[in-house]
Amino acid sequence: MGTTVRGRPRRVARPTPTRGNPSGGVRETTAEERLVQEMLELAFHRAAKVATSGDSALERQRRLALRKIGRTSGNLLRQLRIRSRTLSDAESVGAFRRALLDARWGPGALDRSLLRVRRAQERLIRLRTEEERRVPRLAEREEIAQAVRRYYGRSASLIREVAPDLLRLKEGERLLRDRPSLEDQASTVAVVGYPNVGKSSLLARLTRARPKIASYPFTTVAVAVGHAKLGRVGRTQFVDTPGMLERSEEERNPIEREAFLAIRESGQVVVFLLDPSGSCGWPLSEQEALLLRLRDAFPDRTFVEVENKADLERTPSTRLKISCTTGEGIEELLGRVGGLLKGEGTELPPLPPIRE
């Protein structure tokens, strides 16, 4: 049964029952199935619109078959190129974003997906060439129609094979869309610390970047970058990392792992921000424990320990005191970071203990 539109019956699509399900329940289509259906419908729909001419019915069918095969092949090849072009240029991805992709799927996973997609493109071209050579020699109309169906089926099988790779590439493209690319030639400083200690506020003070700033923790869910000119150092990029907690690598969530990767891929200087006031929600002792853990993890980095929110709480420590609210200590911080980037600083990573 169906509804009527302007006097003509319109077929109502019905869900397909799950195979083998006696209750007749609806089986949800997977993301791979939806992707394959979308690509094939687009290619076959456009191929169905082709037209041609010829001296005889047989000649017209041959030409029509060749045009359908060519149109389908061209459309599928174009879709494969579009869906893989963002990640096909390794240099444009950058070291930091490449590390993010490797952390998400494992080293080389996206490269293997790109390779499989390229091979699918090559196989599509070979299949088209085979049928284009065969069709002109066919003398029966049914054989010609069978050649078109054969190409449709084999090309559909190729798309199904690489559907998981296309989905992985799409997810990787979406991940990189929200992540900045660090400039390899610019001096880099990572701003690190517990959630809500003022890292994004510091980035906004030091650079023209306008990251999201709020009074609740875990506001920053991805790395942000701002740039500033530091005296003789010149253009410097400051990397605002998501908040981290003091816990082992196995316990870290994906946001914390991204912060860890940002430190690893950034420059030699790390500004570690602490909140002695406790307004961030964690005591100073836990923040200092994270500082020690990161010093152990990155012994080759120079850490600048900075206590923020000096307008709320001041400790007797020798750490640099700043306030992102009032601007206190910001110029001194810039001078210290600039000196370290030029190799003039005295703050060096602590030496390992001497063991008997």
CATH number of 29-177: 1.20.120.1190
Packing angle of the helix pair 254-265, 95-105 (nearest 10 deg): 140
Query: What is the percent of the chain with per-residue pLDDT over 70, rounded to a whole number?
Result: 83
Amino acid (one-letter) located at 197: V
| Domain extent listing, the chain | 29-177, 187-341
pLDDT score for 51 = 81
For residue range 243-266, list pLDDT tens digits in order.
888 887 788 888 888 888 888 877
- DSSP letter, residue 17: B
Closest-CA residue to 279 (of 239, 240, 307, 247): 307
* β-bridge partners, 224: 240
Place of tokens 């008997």: 356
Superfamily of chain region 187-341: P-loop containing nucleotide triphosphate hydrolases (3.40.50.300)
Residue of higher predicted confidence among 234 and 126 = 126
For residue range 44-61, list pLDDT tens digits in order.
998 888 887 777 888 889
What ranges make up the beta strands (E) of 160-301?
A: 187-193, 224-230, 234-240, 269-274
> How far, in Å, CA of 239 to CA of 241, rounded?
6
Note the residue count of the chain.
Answer: 356
What is the pairing mode between strands 224-230 and 234-240?
antiparallel
